[in-house]
Structure 1
């Protein structure tokens, strides 16, 4: 494809003829390979809509700036930042649910936090391009206002969930106590199970000499024909019915305590998520705008990559300003 585009850009025929000879379907497919976000893919493949001169010139300005960055290999960090964001339509759905009063789950809030952090980084690198894209989309994003609105959310949320998506149980003031107690309880259960597995009661009827966890219950596997009700509660059985997974009565209280602690931790996390959702709800539309700007930047980056190969042919749009020429070139502009 690159060879074909390069050869076309060196044609001696008129630019108009060269434009008409380009295989725009192939060019669309080539641009598509460089696009990250799902909605940017949809935007690329929209039906042809003739653009006015102002829009074409805005696009050309953005593409020229991005092409320069591409030639100077200064876009790797942008692609790295994009790869940390949610590319699918589901993220827009989450923002829609937020605006309608839903409490977002922990990892949906994590996606929002990454979006805001990404915006700050991208704005620091190519703030001028973001402004041009906002003009193109007829949107207004006030950088200082965005950082002010979301700085408290980011600082508080990152106490709960790291940038890598790890829950900071031991570092969060509300989770630390229950989490430490949970770890101690689990350690007690594991120690007790090791003793049970070595005991004369179970040693000869075990199917597997290790414990397992099924539906949040610590269990051991014994032969079904050796089961007695005094051994413990049946939690599950194998498909063949030859193996029973039981929770020994001697650890039942500890297991119930563990389940209660897990429920308490889940409740605390839900309360935190609800608080953050309430704080973010008035700004759901702004978050949607930031995501839309990134998706358009993604599309422009992909187009700029192909534009480099098209070379002087793209300039023909401005010289041959006619409906025919800019309809032909719509995948780039």
Structure 2
């Protein structure tokens, strides 16, 4: 890519934002080197890497990348026999530790969270584990760069001797500063150090009293810092011990440096992998910050951006637009007034292309698609060259000449205000000629212009489409919404009228406009009015559809609740009546029992058959209560049900036909226009199916017949809208009696795919799910088996 194009499209600002997400200087250095690639295979690989990092960020929220240092200079110095400083070893040990932590983190993600991240896992496997050497360094040097006593037995012994000797020196000197004449002879009762030797501050006049060596004096000359003769030998011994200590430290550092040199290859490998991982996770965190998604990559020159935003604009302020080029048409000509957002649209597609070819996710919806171009050319903005004394027009023409020298069918070309800065008639003619030339080269072109002559350009040439940026006459401000297929129209007269210009002046101005121009303006106005009307009607229809669906669900729910309540009341009434009848029977039995007893005791003339007849009459007198529908169903003669049988659904008191057995206890029943699952105990057999000509059932919903597709395409949908569509689609598919359907969510970042999978796991009508086979769309499609 040309450096000038990267600068024009502000790719450097994207890199500056990306650099803020790097965790180390290694990652920041990789960001500085980042440039878009023109290799299709390389771009695809970069997006796979970024997508894996984004998946980890989405799952874990953060990645442990602290403590990484660029230790390559230290390792190189050890290779040539140099001795590293303690601080160098602190950075080396910290980097070793960081590599172990991130390696374990990635391994845990693969094993425990079952995420497929083969690229990151392969990078982590390339890092050697140097735990013994790391521990050896930490046992010898602390985090502040101090060599520890535990570094070697010799060092510990030397330091013990030094501490003992130092204590003896201090003890002798403290004897001097505590003596009775110390207040008179000493300037201050303290022990201090000069030239690495312990001394005491003695007044000038008492110098001879202490003898020894004078190491320093105060600025006034009244105080001498004297090492008394009695401690000279001890100080000499202490100095010798310190020299031995330094020799031992040098020996320890040399030994560690040699060990570092022995594993230099592994350390260089660790640093390289850590730089790559930091860079990848920086790209993933940057993508998350701008709500970006992974685009599909192609090498056919096709760009489909859905709800794309300019990445440099705040998310809440940026207007999202659909930008499509390279399929039905290869040239877009955007017309309209200044400050309408035409240049922002150019930069959005240009910068999104550069970001995608650099392996960065783009600020657009899932399902967006980007082509890999060999070259991206851009002539945007006022680039007058003062040094060359070039005008605006000349400056643009210099760029255009360079573009025409190099452009081909694998190029994306962006022209801003093509032909501006010169005579309008000549500029328009030149703009048309330049567009024709680039179009015939096979390049993909997006151009903005003021010239009205170019409004008809898209109608006269195949593969060219007009576009404009919407302008709201009521508020006198642009909406920044891109309208592909509708050329921009001049709003000068409308704006002038809104601002209070006299109608006579406006009408007079209109008379100077040619008939053809007026026709074009009226046509554009009609197109805009039709588009707005269609959008309003679509919105109204969508709201009515949602309202009808909600009403349908509410009525269905209330109907089920009503029948359940009715059956419950029937059952309670039956139970109450049964208790009353049982009580009456018990009482009758008591009466008969008493009669028998009377017969035995009084030898009354009561015949046995008369008692039996009396009991029979009592039983016949009991009320004959109707059984509940469910009870009647259980009591009826068992009939082996089969698909096509006419049955009665007792809970709804409705007739229907059996469609198929869903489980051992449930059937799917067609009741009028509805299909529903019903328990077999709630069915009453009426008659078997009659032979008839087989017809294909048609799913019906909301009182109108329509065919339910076997697949649902969610690509380009936002997460929440996608789940709403899945819910409605599954209900329609169940009503249509489909055993299996497909949901196309695309691969993308995996967010939509994961959301759909989670939703399907808990859906009442879903039996099982799986990803599509190779010929079915792979992991971009979920195949759903319905109950």
Common fold by TM > 0.5: yes
Q: Which residue of 2 aligns with 1:259?
A: 239
Q: Is the 8 A contact 2:75 2:264 kept in 1?
A: yes
User: Is residue 123 of structure 1 aligned with residue 123 of structure 2?
Assistant: no
Which residue of 2 is the match for residue 327 of structure 1? 354
- CA deviation map 1:140-178 (0-9, x unaligned): 9645xx33xx45433443432356755431574232211
Query: 1:311 is paired with a residue of what secondary structure?
Result: coil
Change (3 A) 1:234 1:32: farther
Partner of 1:36: 23
Question: SS where residue 50 of structure 1 aligns?
Answer: coil
Question: Are 1:105 and 2:85 matched, yes or no?
Answer: yes
Alpha-carbon deviation of 1:327? 2.6
1:218 paired with 2:246, answer: no
Going by fraction, where is strand more abundant, 1 or 2? 2
Do the aligned partners of residues 218 and 71 (structure 1) sit closer, same or farther apart at CA in structure 2, a change above 3 Å counting?
farther
Structure 1: runs of 5+ lacking an equivalent: 1-20
Question: Are 1:64 and 2:64 an aligned pair?
Answer: no
1:101-250 aligned at under 5 Å gives the runs 101-127=81-107, 132=119, 142-143=126-127, 146-147=128-129, 150-162=130-142, 167-169=147-149, 172-200=152-180, 202-224=182-204, 227-228=207-208, 230-239=210-219, 241-250=221-230
Larger deviation: 178-187 or 112-121?
Answer: 112-121
- How far the C-alpha of 1:124 sits from its partner, in A, is 1.0
Higher alpha-carbon deviation: 200-209 or 323-332: 323-332
Q: TM-score, with normalisation over the residues of structure 1?
A: 0.73
Q: CA deviation at 1:131?
A: 7.3
- The alpha-carbon distance between structure 1 residues 227 and 167, as it changes in their structure 2 partners (threshold 3 A), is same
Residue 277 (str. 1) matches residue 260 (str. 2): no
Does structure 1 conserve the Cα–Cα contact (< 8 Å) formed by 2:203 and 2:222? yes
Using the TM superposition, give the Cα deviation of residue 180 of structure 1 relative to its aligned residue in structure 2, in angstroms: 1.4
Task: Flag the 1:74–1:239 CA change in 2: closer, same or farther, 3 A.
Answer: farther
**2:69 is the alignment partner of 1:86:** yes
TM-score of the superposition, structure 2-length normalised? 0.34
Q: Could you tell me how far 1:307 is from its partner in structure 2? A: 0.5
From 292, 302, 308, give the equivalent of 2:288. 308
* Alpha-carbon offset, residue 320 of structure 1: 3.7
- CA shift digits 1:30-75 (9 cap, x unpaired): 3222323224323312363425233333332333333333344453
Q: Which residue of 2 aligns with 1:298?
A: 278
The count of residues paired between Structure 1 and Structure 2 equals: 300
Secondary structure in 1 aligned to 2:360? coil
Higher helix share: 1
Distance 1:134 1:227 in 2: 75
* Cα pair 2:126 2:269 within 8 Å, conserved: no
Unaligned runs of 5+ in 2: 1-7, 111-115, 305-325, 327-348, 362-787
In 1, Cα distance between equivalents of 2:38 and 2:285: 21
Taking a change above 3 Å as real, the CA distance of residues 290 and 114 of structure 1, as seen in their structure-2 partners, is same
Q: Is this contact kept in 2: 1:50–1:326, CA < 8 A? A: no
How far 1:97 moved relative to its partner? 0.9
Q: 1:197·1:209 contact (CA, 8 Å) conserved in 2?
A: yes
